[in-house]
Structure 1
């Protein structure tokens, strides 16, 4: 028997097994790194839109008919969170999204923390209906304004000037509920464009908060309709309030 030949054969076999083991380990290493890299990339892709939504531009799914015809059920609007961040204030005619806790709702509804977190993330991306505390309405009166409905011609007036609200849903009256309100400083009087389908400031008169929304509760201004593509446009501005004078300085608290 050739002992040297046997040794040589065993050495070759060992080298082959070692190469195979090294190749398998190398493949596993590349696969592991690939999965980690994919996971990191996926996390960044998810984190970026969440941060963008939290600080700059938030998608908001329209869940009801209260803002028809301006906004329709299923529209995904883009809420500009920087609109009032640097000293600007909401103006009459702006369509705003706000947190109604303390004004439209006295307390935020209780919910499961995990479910709430998942729903909040989905809502922040415009994939789910907004939180029950979030509302979208049009600013009709700002701090100091006297808002009255209705005059002898059935029109809403602000600071004594009639407002031609061309943006209202066809057939809707400005309001079937009469009111005469002086908007406290630092707050807003808000109403839906589809007045017969909108639960807004009118519905909370006589309740704590009086139906007005504190300016600091405004999340942002609805500037664009981003989805569906057939309705892709900006949210139209209105000149309906252009002739309304500023409220008397110091005249209202």
Structure 2
């Protein structure tokens, strides 16, 4: 009889642990962190195809998004209604003037120094003043990225979080370069 009670107690405690773990996991994933898989080459060479990243969903709500941050966001529904997250680098902030010409990106009439870009852009864009609560985002693989030079500014409300570090593949584990 004691054996049956201890078995029931064990099963009940195991069920409690599993429910708690599920609730904790769901709570963390919905508010603090997310894991994303990168399906495209738009962020080459910084992020490779099929890299897996951890996204910080909390700190950008407490601190400002900065130029150079790699962010994860929900794309405009007019561009992609799949529900998948996209990832790009923040180039222009609210109030900035952005222009792309002669293979350079200009912010407020000053050329950016961008060690992370794969190649110089072979297109022109702007000038454009970025409205309040919006960002101008570009892929590091400038000529092969569906980004703000194609569809315009990204509303701040679409930002999910900052890409923090790569956890897969293991030989590339670490923080993302800014």
Which residue of structure 1 aligns with residue 67 of structure 2? 92
Higher strand share: 2
Which residue of structure 1 aligns with residue 146 of structure 2? 199
Q: Spell out, residue by residue over 1:183-222, the C-alpha distance to the aligned partner (whole angstroms, 9 max, x if none).
A: 1121001111112321111222xxxxxx211112211111
Which residue of structure 2 aligns with residue 14 of structure 1? none
For residues 57 and 148 of structure 2, the distance between their equivalents in structure 1, rounded to whole angstroms, comes to 22
Which residue of structure 1 aligns with residue 104 of structure 2? 155
The alpha carbon displacement at 1:36 in A equals 2.6
For residues 94 and 44 of structure 2, the distance between their equivalents in structure 1, rounded to whole angstroms, comes to 26
Runs of at least 5 residues in structure 2 that lack an aligned partner in the other structure: none
For residues 190 and 97 of structure 1, the distance between their equivalents in structure 2, rounded to whole angstroms, comes to 11
Higher helix share: 1
For residues 177 and 92 of structure 2, the distance between their equivalents in structure 1, rounded to whole angstroms, comes to 18
Give TM-score scaled by structure 2 length.
Answer: 0.88
Count of residue pairs brought into register by the alignment:
177
The alpha carbon displacement at 1:93 in A equals 0.8
1:177 aligns with 2:146: no
CA 1:178 to 1:199, structure 2 compared with 1: closer, same or farther past 3 Å? same
Q: Which has the larger radius of gyration?
A: 1
Which residue of structure 1 aligns with residue 163 of structure 2? 222
Pick one of 33, 37, 42 that aligns with 1:66.
Answer: 42
The alpha carbon displacement at 1:44 in A equals 2.1
Q: Spell out, residue by residue over 1:100-143, the C-alpha distance to the aligned partner (whole angstroms, 9 max, x if none).
A: 244644xx44xxxxxxxxxxxxxxxxxxxxx42x2110011111
Q: Spell out, residue by residue over 1:5-41, the C-alpha distance to the aligned partner (whole angstroms, 9 max, x if none).
A: xxxxxxxxxxxxxxxxxx3xx4333323322322222
Runs of at least 5 residues in structure 1 that lack an aligned partner in the other structure: 1-22, 110-130, 205-210, 238-253
Give TM-score scaled by structure 1 length.
Answer: 0.64
| Aligned-CA RMSD value | 1.9
Indicate conservation of the 8 Å contact 2:43/2:141, yes or no.
yes
CA 1:62 to 1:144, structure 2 compared with 1: closer, same or farther past 3 Å? same
Indicate conservation of the 8 Å contact 2:117/2:142, yes or no.
yes
**4+ runs deviating over 3 angstroms:** 26-29, 101-105
For residues 77 and 219 of structure 1, the distance between their equivalents in structure 2, rounded to whole angstroms, comes to 13
Which residue of structure 2 aligns with residue 208 of structure 1? none
Which residue of structure 2 aligns with residue 248 of structure 1? none
